Structure 1
Amino acid sequence: MDVFCSDLSLTSAPVNLPRGVQMLDLSRNQVQNLTQETLSYHTGFRHLNLHGNKIHFIQPGLFKDMTDLKVLDLSRNHLNVFAHSKTNIGLLAAVKSLDLSSNGLYTGMSDYFLANSPSLENLSLNSNSITKVSQNTFSGALSLSRINLHNNVILEIEDGAFDSLDNLAELDLSKNSITCITDFNLCNLKMLNLSKNSMELFQSTRSIDRFQLTCLDLSENKMLYFPLLPQNNVLEYLDVSRNRLQSVNVTGNPETHISVFFNHLKYVDLSYNQLKSLPETFFYCMGSLEVLNVSHNCISSFSLTNKRLLQSVKVINLSHNSLQSLTFGENTLQSLEKLHLQGNDLAVLDPQTFQRLPSLNHLQLQQNNLKICPSDPDIQDCVFFGSIPNLLFLNLSENNLRTVPPNAFHNTSLTLLDLSMNPGLDTDKRSLTGLENSLVHLLLRENNLSGLNTDLSSLRSLKRIDLSTNQLTTLPTWNKESSIESLNLQNNNLVTIEYNTMLTLERSLKTLYMGSNPLSCCRNLDFLHMVQHSALVVPDIETVTCVHEEYPEPVKIEMVTKEMCHSAGMRNYSIVALIILLVSLIALGLLVTCLRARKQKHRRNFRA
């Protein structure tokens, strides 16, 4: 018994609505006055959607007889006009969800809709123009458990504005103009979103009461200090990213240390701040932490030597800082799986740094200045990447690498290796030894490679290889056991693509990128025929061209035919044959002339 009448330019509900309709969708129509007549005198609705109309008048008491109405959506109308009349809409006896968003409501106007809403649990007032939340704003809706005030202009929240809402579990105050929260005391609240405000301070009341808050979002504010949170808390998610934090001290004064225990905290985000250091003491009370994000700060050194700290952490993101020093003590971070260190200044590390992390499987190191150690243990100005048994993902792009020594990744299970954007990179024939059965993705783009010393045919599991933007003139060789599915050859110097090599790959190859190469049309006929008539996908085929001597502009490979080259060959043969014939005729003429001259001379001598 659901009736959908959206987008029909209606000014009221259809007059022939059947009895017993439970849901009526009149959204995005032209309803202006909401009365009993507008709704065809039906009162049995459970769900009424009037979103996106032009409603500026509601008949007082319209909903008092709708004892089954649970969901009422009045969003995106002109209810500010109705509120100016200072008339209550009356009893909302059973309504549990009310949406008043995008109605141009000012401070105090919501009172006329909430004055008698005893069952209301979910309220949305987002995208209005409310500047103040007063003590009596929600006095007529004491059962509220979720309030959405996102995207208003809230500057002030009166003391006790939410205190009477014992069931309030979720409160969204994001994207407003709140400058500070002091004496936060909502013990029953579970989720609080204060992101995108102008917050400079967040402080909880000093209380031994247990706070139920599990998720707190303070991102995109102007906070200088770490928030002062309840001592007795069960917080699991804390986001203080995109603020102005210069210290993780809650007062900004290093001599005044206030300890708050975060025994349940699993996720903390401090990214995009101005932190210069992150002391080990900060983690003393975070026994359950799983994800730590401190990317995009100004941290120059990170050290963890106490093996009892961060025992549960799985992800650490230190990317885009100013790291020059990184130290992990023995038996620390035993559960760490992902480590993000990209965009730092790392050049010298303890060669065994990553061998101390037994669970590490994902390591991001691009945009640093690290060198890869060979198997010689006496070398100290490089990093070992072998013997990390669980390592699956390693990114070493943009490290100014010059060489990849033999056995550089032995005793690992790498499935993805990125060595891109290291111009002049020299690889040894045995650089990838040990990865024969594990490596699936290999990225070598933008390395200025003119050839490959590494034997790729031995990598039996390799499925995707990126060789784009190099100086390759020939393809690597592969055997019939190859499992290559995707090959990127864009932006190289390939004139011919060996047909036998591609024939070897044809069994497994599914995707080929080959644009921006000086391909010859007529020297690649067999290969081009394969591309045109096989199931091979060339995503950039519209831009793939080849050079034909009889055409002033490059030719799209889709347009190349054997006849184009055969006719050109025949014309060339005819021209050569004509030239040979002309030369032969000239030679014959010269020979005849010479013979005649000798015969005449002989006759003169005879007569003499």
Structure 2
Amino acid sequence: MDDGTFEALGKLEKLNLAKNNLAHICDFKLQRVQYLNLSRNSIEFFVTAEDNHMYSLETLDLSHNKLLYFPILPKRNQLKFLYLQHNVVGTLTSEESMVSETNALYNEVVRMNDVRIGKNHLHSTWRLMPLLHIDLSHNHFTSFPLETLSLLSTLEGLDFSFNCVQKLTWNVRQESASKYYRQLYFPSLRYLNMQSNGLVSISPLFLKALTQVETINLRDNAVQPCAPVGQMPSSLSSQQLNLNSSCIAFGKLKTLKHLSLENNDIKSLPANAFRESSLVSLNLARNSHMIMRVDSLEDIKETLQSLTISELNVTNSELFLPCMPLLMHLNISNNRLTALPHNLNCSPLRELSIRNNAFVSVNYSLILALSAHLHVMYFSGNDLTCCDSNWLSALNNSRIKMPDIDLTKCVTDDSSIPIEEYLKSSSLYCSHHIKGIHLGQIFIVILFVTVFITVFMMFARKICCLKKSFGV
């Protein structure tokens, strides 16, 4: 594309150049454009010469390209959304080398003859960006670019999923000879997605930087929750706890509301693992070897509204749920449970999933108690008994939705039938069962009465004989 192709369109506000074959953007001069889509090209770099003009750009999509570097954008812009997913950013081993090479590229592209030594063009432009959301997922990062991203003081959402960061260390350059680590902050960050990085550890100093975070997605990693500080092994020094902890103390995140630890191969969920936190939703699914302690959820029982503990491979004796007065969503599917946890009557549940367990029946009185709030219930994949289904009839006669009812079967003495078919004519399938119960009950009553009368008559005769003996 020739330089100045779109410059005649002075009022252009939206420009979509996706799915072309652009190789690079050497200068960007469209000051009125608010939305620019350059996705699915072959762009290797995006560099804009520094000037004093104000640019209206608010959304820039550079996803699905071949970017090696962070883009250098107009210094004065209004950019709020930056999409860099599916590139090769982070291929360079360290943040320092990436920043250095980006600045060298800038000087080469802009052809500056009077280059100011030490001028960091990347950081000087990023420091001024009013960015709200950046997507860096599906790139090649092996380390987290702490210093560059911390410059984005207005950043609220960061998607860093599907990269290669195994240890999120506090690798920050020192400004002096001080032995203390320089603390940076992400003062506005509320949403952080670190899914599928292979994370094993996260520096406590990084957690300290997340002063406003509300949602963290750590799905498909290998992190382990820490016990509270008082329960840490005494052999660990304070410096080790501060800098090299191999587990995460989630209680330090005072603002955290939503946490996903799905599929982290968690070995143990310590007692009071979330002390001082106020979690609203927690996902512990697919940690099939996790041992849950009696008090693991004790500190969030008053705040938790959504809990997912599916695919833990637990039985009733291994599942410990406290009374949770705000819990509205519970997923206990894909376990080995035979009965609902008795503490559920404390919760105003709106959605409940018990799919793929070992339920034969469900506690009728508990279902009646839950039905006051329950909107949706999933129960397919259990060996339910048709003729012990008062709870199911109660569900069917209520307004509770059962989305998987067409996938569910129940078992009679001699067959397996779809639940929907059974509910339409339950007496047909269970009449012999009911009659059998009635005849059995009658037989037991008759037998009891016969035995009682026989015993009474024998006792009466004995008394009578005794009286005659005394009379003689």
Tell me, yes or no, whether TM beats 0.5. yes
Structural mapping, 1:37-186, within 5 Å: 156-157=1-2, 159-182=3-26, 184-186=28-30
Deviation per CA, 1:491-525, whole angstroms, max 9, x where unpaired? Answer: 1111121212222222222221111100111233x
Q: Is the contact made by 2:313 and 2:335 (CA closer than 8 Å) also made in structure 1?
A: yes
Quick one: distance in 2 between partners of 1:164 and 1:399? 54
Report the CA distance shift for 1:171/1:558 in structure 2 as closer, same or farther (over 3 A): same
**1:521 partnered with 2:386:** yes
Distance 2:98 2:193 in 1: 26
**SS of aligned partner of 1:386:** helix
Count of residue correspondences: 402
Quote the Cα distance in structure 1 between the aligned partners of 2:101 and 2:344.
66
SS at match of 2:144: strand
Q: Equivalents in 2 of 1:376, 1:415: separation in Å?
A: 23
Query: Contact 2:80/2:132 (CA < 8 Å) preserved in 1?
Result: no
Query: Deviation at 1:540?
Result: 1.2
**In structure 2, the residue corresponding to 1:339 is in which secondary structure?**
strand
Structure 1 pair 452/365, CA: closer, same or farther in 2 (3 Å)? farther
Secondary structure, counterpart of 1:501 in structure 2: helix
Q: Give 1:210's aligned residue.
A: 53
CA contact (8 A) 1:487 1:511 kept: yes
Q: 1:290 aligns with which of 122, 132, 135?
A: 132
Percent identity, please.
Answer: 29
> Which range moved further: 463-472 or 327-336?
327-336
Q: How far apart are residue 307 of structure 1 and its match?
A: 11
> How far apart in 2 are the matches of 1:253 and 1:387?
36
1:535 is aligned to 2:394? no
Please report how far the alpha carbon of residue 362 of structure 1 lies from its aligned counterpart in structure 2 after TM superposition: 0.5
* Separation (CA, whole Å) in 1 of partners of 2:88 and 2:213: 31
CA distance in structure 1 between the aligned counterparts of 2:319 and 2:149, rounded to whole angstroms:
40
Matched, 1:197 2:51: no
CA distance in 2: counterparts of 1:349 and 1:181, whole angstroms: 36
Q: CA deviation at 1:430?
A: 1.2
How far off its partner does 1:219 sit?
3.2
Q: 1:232 to 1:220 in 2, by over 3 A?
A: same
Q: Displaced runs of 4+ in structure 1, greater than 6 A? A: 248-252, 305-308, 572-578
What amino acid sits opposite 1:210 in the alignment? H
Contact kept? 2:315, 2:338, Cα under 8 Å: yes
The answer to whether the 8 A contact 2:72-2:121 is kept is no
Change (3 A) 1:434 1:302: same
Task: Give the letter aligned to residue 464 of structure 1.
Answer: H
Matching of residue 343 in structure 1 with residue 178 in structure 2: no
Question: 1:560, 1:166 → 2: CA distance?
Answer: 73
Would the aligned equivalents of 2:85 and 2:139 in 1 still touch at CA under 8 Å? no
Matched, 1:357 2:200: no
**Who is 1:420 aligned against?**
285
Specify the alignment match of 1:367 in structure 2.
220
Q: Taking structure 1 as reference, are residues 431 and 331 closer, same or farther at Cα in structure 2, changes over 3 Å only?
A: same
Return the match for 1:219 from 36, 47, 63: 63
Change (3 A) 1:427 1:352: farther
Question: Within 1, Cα distance between the matches of 2:34 and 2:184?
Answer: 36
- Cα distance change on mapping 1:476 and 1:244 into 2, 3 Å: closer
Cα contact 2:192–2:213 (8 A) shared by 1:
yes
Unmatched 5+ residue regions in structure 2? Answer: 109-119, 171-181, 234-244, 444-472
CA distance in 2 between partners of 1:564 and 1:326 (Å): 60
Question: 1:381 and 1:166 mapped to 2: Cα distance?
Answer: 55
CA distance in 1: counterparts of 2:98 and 2:322, whole angstroms: 57
Aligned partners of 1:164, 1:196: CA distance in 2, in Å?
A: 25
CA–CA distance in structure 1, aligned partners of residues 346 and 316 of structure 2: 22
Q: Deviation of residue 483 (structure 1)? A: 0.9
1:209-358 to 2 correspondences below 5 Å? 210=53, 212-215=55-58, 216-227=60-71, 229-230=73-74, 235-245=79-89, 246=91, 253=101, 256=104, 258=106, 283=123, 285-287=125-127, 288-302=130-144, 304=146, 309-327=151-169, 330=183, 332-350=185-203, 353-358=206-211
Q: Which amino acid in 1 is paired with 2:20? A: N
State the alpha-carbon separation in 2 of the partners of residues 164 and 479 from structure 1. 67
Residues 479 and 504 of structure 1 are in contact (CA less than 8 Å); yes or no, is this contact kept in structure 2?
no
3-state DSSP class of the match of 2:158? strand
Q: Which amino acid in the other structure matches residue 391 of structure 2?
A: F
CA displacement at 1:477 relative to structure 2: 0.4
**Is 1:551 aligned to residue 391 of structure 2?**
no
Give the Å deviation of 1:434.
Answer: 2.0
Letter in 1 for 2:157: V
* Cα-to-partner distance string for 1:247-294 (whole Å, 9 max, x where unaligned): 59899957826489xxxxxxxxxxxxxxxxxxx995454234433322
Instruction: Quickly say closer, same or farther: Cα 1:431–1:560, change in 2 above 3 A.
Output: farther
Cα distance change, pair 562–332 in 1 and its aligned pair in 2 (3 A):
same
Cα RMSD, aligned residues only:
3.6
User: C-alpha distance in 2, partners of 1:312/1:387?
Assistant: 22
Deviation at 1:435, TM superposition (A): 1.7
Which residue pairs with 2:455 in the alignment? none
Q: Which residue number corresponds to residue 336 of structure 2?
A: 471
Distance 1:315 1:167, change over 3 A: closer
Q: Check whether the contact 2:106–2:121 (CA below 8 A) recurs between aligned residues.
A: no
Task: Note the C-alpha offset of 1:423.
Answer: 0.5
Question: How far apart are 1:319 and its partner, in Å?
Answer: 1.4
Query: 501-510 or 209-218, which moves further after superposition?
Result: 209-218
Q: Which has the higher contact order (CA 8 A, sep 6+)?
A: 2
